[in-house]
Amino acid sequence: MTQCVRCGKQNAEVMTEASDKSWILYSCPDCRYAWRTTEVVENRTREQFPKAFQWTDETMKSFTDFPRITTRKNKQ
């Protein structure tokens, strides 16, 4: 597992990657942050991620609800 850039938990998952392995897309199931390995260092490492945008367990407990991610509908 990989550390989430935003919430710091060690459970970010690989969502997909390029066939030539040139990039990987990670996503955190807790805070729903997602990032690619090709992004600027501030967007892909916890140490460089702006402190103002980092979340903690306390931060996430204060949220009343996360927006639901809907299933994409096929266009016909």
Torsion angles phi and psi, residue 11, rounded to 5: -135, 20
| pTM exceeds cut of 0.75 | yes
Which whole number is the average pLDDT over 15-33?
Answer: 95
Count of beta carbons in the 10 Å neighbourhood of residue 33: 17
d(CA 40, CA 26): 14
pLDDT confidence of 60, banded at 50, 70, 90?
confident
The neighbouring-strand residues paired with 2 are: 12
* pLDDT at residue 76, rounded to an integer: 59
Which whole number is the average pLDDT over 4-16?
Answer: 95
Query: In 3-state terms, what secondary structure has residue 20?
Result: coil
Q: Where are the beta strands (DSSP E) in 1-76?
A: 13-17, 24-27, 34-36
Amino acid, single-letter form, for residue 12: A
